[in-house]
């Protein structure tokens, strides 16, 4: 297991999951059947504080960000999953992949409203089915990766390769090292 957390099967703790995440994991053919969940202090949900407090190496954690891609007056939402040690190349790789004239991080109210998840807890599991999900290849290469649970009071632990099977998922070189 990763970090100083009490990991338990996500199916045993639906109270620690946002509704869209519960639905995705409880479906007849759950994509991430091996998902584990751990309760955390919601004040420590942000990556740096979380990793420090719970002894999770930053390279074992991934951040899911919602992007609004615009072209010709149309806005297309997408999600990007990148290692916590990296940043999504929104203005380069993401914008080109989404064939947008402009791409930027979605405003908080739009991101939470569209996903049904809490800001700071957005996860690739349970996103709207018609959204592209761009996943950096480094995330998929990890045997296990910590992602959000849809709420700030918990985190999920899933096999990196299982994330590539999520609806709308596309694995590519998406991120640049932070800093």
- Taken in order of first residue, the domains within the chain and their CATH numbers are 8-177 (3.90.960.10)
Give the span between the Cα atoms of 100 and 75, in whole angstroms: 9
Give the span between the Cα atoms of 32 and 166, in whole angstroms: 8
Supply the pTM of this predicted model. 0.94
Q: What is the pLDDT along the chain (179 residues), one digit of tens a residue?
A: 899 999 999 999 999 999 999 999 887 656 677 899 999 999 999 999 999 999 999 999 999 999 999 998 899 999 999 999 999 999 899 999 999 999 999 999 999 999 999 999 999 999 998 999 999 999 999 999 999 999 999 999 999 999 999 999 999 999 888 86
Q: 24: helix, coil or strand?
A: helix
Give the span between the Cα atoms of 87 and 179, in whole angstroms: 9
Whose CA is closest to 118, among 142, 144, 139, 148? 148
């Amino acid at each position: 297991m990763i970090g100083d957390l009490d990991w338990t099967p996500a199916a045993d703790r639906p109270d620690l999951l946002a509704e869209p995440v519960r639905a995705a994991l409880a479906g007849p053919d759950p994509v991430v059947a091996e998902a584990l969940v751990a309760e955390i202090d919601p004040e420590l949900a942000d990556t740096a504080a979380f990793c420090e407090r719970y002894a999770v190496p930053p390279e074992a954690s991934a951040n899911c960000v919602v992007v609004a891609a615009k072209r010709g007056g149309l806005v297309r939402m997408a999600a990007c999953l990148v290692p916590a040690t990296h940043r999504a190349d929104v203005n380069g790789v993401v914008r080109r992949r989404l064939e947008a004239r402009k791409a930027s991080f979605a405003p908080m109210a739009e991101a939470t409203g569209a996903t049904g998840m809490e800001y700071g807890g957005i996860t690739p599991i349970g996103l709207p089915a018609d959204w592209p999900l761009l996943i950096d290849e480094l995330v998929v290469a990890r045997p296990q990766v910590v992602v959000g649970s849809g709420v700030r009071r918990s985190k999920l632990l899933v096999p990196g390769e299982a994330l590539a099977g999520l609806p709308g998922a596309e694995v590519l070189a998406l991120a640049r090292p932070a800093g």
